[in-house]
Structure 1
Amino acid sequence: MDKLVIEGGVPLSGTIRIHGAKNAALPILAASILADGAVTIRNVPRLLDIQVMLDILQDLGCRTAFRGGTVTVDGSGASSSHVPESLMRRMRSSVFLMGPLLARFGEVQVYQPGGCAIGERKIDLHLRGLEALGANIEATGNRIVCRSGRLRGAEIILDFPSVGATENIMMAAVLAEGRTTIVGAAREPEIQDLQRFLNEMGAIVRGAGTDTIVIEGVSSLSGCDFEVIPDRIVTGTVMVAAAATKGEVTLTGAQPGHLTSLIHVLRRAGVQIQVENDIMKVRATDRPRAVPRVVTSPYPAFPTDLQAQMMILLALADGVSVIKETIFEGRFKHAEELCRMGADIRLDLNTAFIRGVPRLYGTTVEATDLRAGAALVIAGLAAEGRTVIEQVHHIDRGYDRIEDMFSRLGGRIARHQETDKANIAALR
């Protein structure tokens, strides 16, 4: 089992280019099965979740190739609409295949998806949306079967701006007969990217980025060549790491407009941020200031996927900060691990009260989920002494070799297996 070993206390410094967005690439890969021809998708990160999605597409009969950040998918030979349970258990985002498979084959069989254990994440909004388009749904145990003739457009009102449900409905509706309107849609940049991809294939979708999306159904879609947006969560992770280590880092290939809420909170904490087109410079020389209140909420508010990382910075801040998590009820598991490193954090249901300490100390911790793992990497980089992070496979789901990324910025971090002593010795 891989581990990360970090010798902390070194300010990050240098320039790094941000890789493509996992949360944009996954639904785009799922949507590729809608095309009559091959699609080419560029700027795709090499991540565990991406590989699982490609494995699923291959199991369905698609031909795929992944070289140098570019994926090609030819779904012309796809013959199955049954997503294997073993693959669905490996990744929650496999649920994105429900909409496109139903639209293409008139039937799809899936299972309750896996993924990070960060609280209850029902797919009822996905199912209600597909049902509104004309699907008949049968659920037995953890198996879900959806069947339909040609789907028909409808007005669908979401009780909550679910990103996954919005995207699944979009992908199903592009081949439905007539107009579909999604009211209360999620507004994330990844949804806007999916709209761009669908329209490149010949769909007619408008409104992504607002709370109302309108889709005019078409009879078929064709292949295209497309580039995925940069990953805003990876961008934010590097920004927080630069601040927590009192470093100076330049990020290129970013989209600052996708991170206005994070930039605002970091500046309140005393972090210097310069923005110019797709370049951001992050600099922190002093101990951060406490931020009285940070609340996670759907985009464009502060993202739940950066809550754990922000907690690291506030754990080192001067004063008391409060973080309220409103998206997932199980997303404070990293707090216990952080307290083992010397942090002073008290939890009350979905609220964390953080009294900043002058420093953290390295120890052995466990990545309980993807973003918690990334946060512990930041903690290790900022802490005094050695930090060992176990269960690294969670981190690999969303970061393309996180140790290489931070090593390029001067971080003393290496990956090794239980029997690999050379990497540990190299850090001494």
Structure 2
Amino acid sequence: MDKFVVRGGNPLLGTIKISGAKNSALPCMAAAILTADEVILENIPQVRDIETERKLLESMGAEVELGYGRAQHRTSIKCAILSDPVAKYEIVKTMRASSLVLGPLLARTGIARVAMPGGCAIGGRPIDLHIKALEQMGAVVTYDHGYLEAKTDRLKGTHIVFDKITVTGTEDILMAATLAEGETILENCAREPEVTDLAALLIAMGAKIEGAGTSTIKVQGVSSLHGARYRINPDRIEAGTFLIAGAITGGDLIVDCCDPSHLGSIIGKLEQAGVRLDVGTDNIRVRSEGGGTLKAVDISTEEYPGFPTDMQAQYMALATQAEGMSIVTENIFENRFMHVNELIRMGANITVSGRTATVRGRTPLQSAAVMCSDLRASAALVLAALVADGESILDRVYHMDRGYERMEEKLRGVGAQIRRMGDVFGKK
């Protein structure tokens, strides 16, 4: 099992290029189910979740080619024949985004059989909002031996109001609505850039969509969609993670090939904390002002455009190095403080009460052997290790490989002392 070995103390200096957004790429790959034509996606990150999505699509009969060499970061998907429209448990259990095939499978083939997702380390991500919306569109949904099966002659456009904001629910039903009969109006939609990214691909495939990126989306169903070529947006969470890496190490780092317009809440909190940021059109420079002291700032996670839950753990690592007391409130997932005990092992002063963590900085961190519990917790522990005294060992970094493309190589390129022990992901 792979581990990271990180020796702290080096400021990060140089340029890091941001990869494509995993959370955009996954629904966009699922959208290829909606057409028999070829869909080509560019700027695809080379992470484990993408490989899992490839296996899922191929298990249903799709032809999927993930680019390597000169065609790196590109995938072509052709779902000419979907011989087995089933999302099998062996695959679904490893990636919650697998449920995104439910809507497009049902819209395209009239039947979908998807393994019910189980629990998640950071909290439940119920699929009931997807099911309720599809039933409103005329689907008949049954449950059998851990699978849900949905059937329809053709989905019907209708007026759907989500009980709560759901990113995957918005994406799943948006895809389903593109081939539904008549108009579908979706209210209380997620506004994340990943939803907008998916809508842009669907429009390129011939869908009629208005309002993506707002709380109300209107979809006029069409009889069929066609192939398209589309470039995935840069990963705003990876960009935010590296902005904090530059800030926490007191470095001078350019985070390149990003979209600053997607990072407003993160930029705002970093500037409140005293971090100097020079924002360009597709890059952000983060630098220490003569070794200036970071200031404590409270954060509260919210749906976009609020502060993202996927950046909460990383910001908590930064808060351990800020002067004063920071209050971190987690409003999205009920169990997303599993990184706290590992940070405490490294010397952090953090107490948790319910959904609120109190971080008292400025605390010197010490090296330790720590355990990664989920994707973003892994990133937080890397950030802490970059400023800890001595050499830290991070176990179970396979979580990191799910969503960060070769993080250790990117960090090493800007001066971090970090190496991987074990089999390198992606090695052929």
Same fold (TM over 0.5): yes
Q: Displacement of 1:286 after TM fit?
A: 2.1
Listed one character per residue, the Cα deviations across residues 221-278 of structure 1 (whole Å, up to 9, x for unaligned) are 1111100000000000000111111111101111111110010100111000111111
Which residue of 190, 199, 224 corresponds with 2:203? 199
Q: Secondary structure at the match of 2:212?
A: coil
Counterparts of 1:29-428 in structure 2 under 5 Å? Answer: 29-67=29-67, 68-113=72-117, 116-284=120-288, 285-291=291-297, 293-417=298-422
Q: Distance between the aligned counterparts of 1:141 and 1:35, measured in 2?
A: 30
Q: Do the aligned residues in 2 keep the contact of 1:93 with 1:113 (CA within 8 Å)?
A: no
Q: Secondary structure at the match of 1:161?
A: coil
Q: Do the aligned residues in 2 keep the contact of 1:116 with 1:370 (CA within 8 Å)?
A: no
Q: Displacement of 1:392 after TM fit?
A: 0.8
Q: Do the aligned residues in 2 keep the contact of 1:126 with 1:165 (CA within 8 Å)?
A: yes
Q: Do the aligned residues in 2 keep the contact of 1:36 with 1:220 (CA within 8 Å)?
A: no
1:23 maps to which residue? 23
Q: Do the aligned residues in 1 keep the contact of 2:119 with 2:125 (CA within 8 Å)?
A: no
1:425 maps to which residue? none
Q: Which sections of structure 1, spanning at least 5 residues, go unmatched?
A: 421-428
Q: Do the aligned residues in 2 keep the contact of 1:90 with 1:115 (CA within 8 Å)?
A: no
Q: Do the aligned residues in 2 keep the contact of 1:91 with 1:115 (CA within 8 Å)?
A: no
Q: Distance between the aligned counterparts of 1:112 and 1:138, measured in 2?
A: 11
Instruction: Give the AA of the match of 1:107.
Output: I
Listed one character per residue, the Cα deviations across residues 350-386 of structure 1 (whole Å, up to 9, x for unaligned) are 0000000342111000110000001101111111111
Q: Secondary structure at the match of 1:176?
A: coil
Instruction: Give the AA of the match of 1:346.
Output: T
Q: Displacement of 1:112 after TM fit?
A: 2.0
Q: Do the aligned residues in 1 keep the contact of 2:348 with 2:363 (CA within 8 Å)?
A: no
TM-score (norm 2): 0.96
Q: Secondary structure at the match of 2:315?
A: helix
Instruction: Give the AA of the match of 1:262.
Output: I
Instruction: Give the AA of the match of 2:100.
Output: F
Instruction: Give the AA of the match of 2:168.
Output: G
Listed one character per residue, the Cα deviations across residues 47-73 of structure 1 (whole Å, up to 9, x for unaligned) are 100000000111111111111000000
**Moved segments of 4+, more than 3 Å:** none
Q: Do the aligned residues in 2 keep the contact of 1:365 with 1:388 (CA within 8 Å)?
A: yes
Q: Distance between the aligned counterparts of 2:356 and 2:422, measured in 1?
A: 36
Q: Secondary structure at the match of 1:319?
A: strand
Q: Displacement of 1:417 after TM fit?
A: 2.3
Instruction: Give the AA of the match of 1:137.
Output: V
Instruction: Give the AA of the match of 2:31.
Output: A
Q: Displacement of 1:33 after TM fit?
A: 1.1
Listed one character per residue, the Cα deviations across residues 128-166 of structure 1 (whole Å, up to 9, x for unaligned) are 111111111112353111111110001000111100000
Q: Secondary structure at the match of 2:307?
A: coil
Q: Which sections of structure 2, spanning at least 5 residues, go unmatched?
A: none
Q: Displacement of 1:114 after TM fit?
A: 5.4
Q: Displacement of 1:116 after TM fit?
A: 4.6
Instruction: Give the AA of the match of 2:326.
Output: S
Q: Displacement of 1:36 after TM fit?
A: 2.3
TM-score (norm 1): 0.96
Instruction: Give the AA of the match of 2:411.
Output: F
Deviates more, 1:131-140 or 1:57-66: 131-140
Instruction: Give the AA of the match of 2:28.
Output: I
Q: Distance between the aligned counterparts of 2:231 and 2:119, measured in 1?
A: 26
Instruction: Give the AA of the match of 2:41.
Output: I
Q: Distance between the aligned counterparts of 1:362 and 1:286, measured in 2?
A: 23
Q: Secondary structure at the match of 2:186?
A: strand
Deviates more, 1:58-67 or 1:110-119: 110-119
Q: Displacement of 1:115 after TM fit?
A: 7.8
Listed one character per residue, the Cα deviations across residues 307-327 of structure 1 (whole Å, up to 9, x for unaligned) are 000000001111001000000
Q: Distance between the aligned counterparts of 2:160 and 2:354, measured in 1?
A: 32
Instruction: Give the AA of the match of 1:248.
Output: D
